[in-house]
Amino acid sequence: MNAKLTDFTTATATATDARTQTTTEPMFDDDMTPAEFRDACEQYAEYAVEQFDTFEPVDMDEVTVEVSQRMERAAGKAIYKPIQDDLTIRFAVGAYEKWGWSDRMKSTIRHELVHCVQYIKKGDADHGIGFEMMADKVDVTKYCDQFTDYKYILMCSECGDMVGGRHRKSKIVTDPEKTNYVSPCCRATLESREA
C-alpha cells in the first residue's frame, strides 16, 4: 500500500518537472553571431508554440527558421510556398543588432508565428481582424515586425503595412491623408506614426 502510494507520488513529480522544464523561457545574449541568433529564434519559437494555445496548429518541425543580413525594413517575415507546402519564418540580423534579445525581438517572433497560423488555416496571411484577435492573445502588435532608422513611419491606412518613412517632420508626416500619396498595397491613403 505504502509502496504504491510512493510510486504514484514519484510519477506525478516527474511529470510535473518535465512540464516545468519545457515551458521555461530560453534566454539569450545580445551579442550572438547570426548562426546563434538563428538557433535562438528557433528555440524561442518552439517555446512560444508550447506556451500559447493560439499557436497550436504550428508544428515547428515543419517550419524552417532562417536569418537574413539583407532585410532592411522587416524585422521578421513569414513565407509560405503552397506548391512545396513550405513554411519559413525569417528574421533580420539588423533588427537583432539594433534591439538585442529584447521583448521586441521576441514579439516579432510571435508575430510571425501568428502569420504561420494564418497560412496553415487559410493559406494566406494579413494584418486584418483575424490577425488582431490572435495577436491580442499572444501579446503582439501588427507593427512589431518592422524596424527602421526612420524617425517617422508611413503606413497603409487599409492594411497597416509599412510603406515608407521619413527622417524628419514634413507634411506627409503631419497630414498624410492630405497628400496625394497612396499605398502600393491597397491604393489607400497613408497614416503616420513615430518610429
Which residues are at the interface with Zn ion (CB under 5 A)? 145, 156, 158-159, 183, 185-186
Please name the helix (run of DSSP H) or strand (run of DSSP E) that holds residue 20, with its range, or none. Answer: helix 2-22
Nearer to Zn ion, 32 or 182 (CB): 182
Nearer to Zn ion, 42 or 145 (CB): 145
CB of 166 to Zn ion, least distance (A): 18
Nearer to Zn ion, 93 or 125 (CB): 125
Rg (CA), the chain: 20
CB of 182 to Zn ion, least distance (A): 9
Beta strand spans in the chain (E): 63-68, 76-81, 86-92, 152-156, 162-166, 190-194
DSSP 111-132: HHHHHHHHHHHHS---SSHHHH
CB of 170 to Zn ion, least distance (A): 21
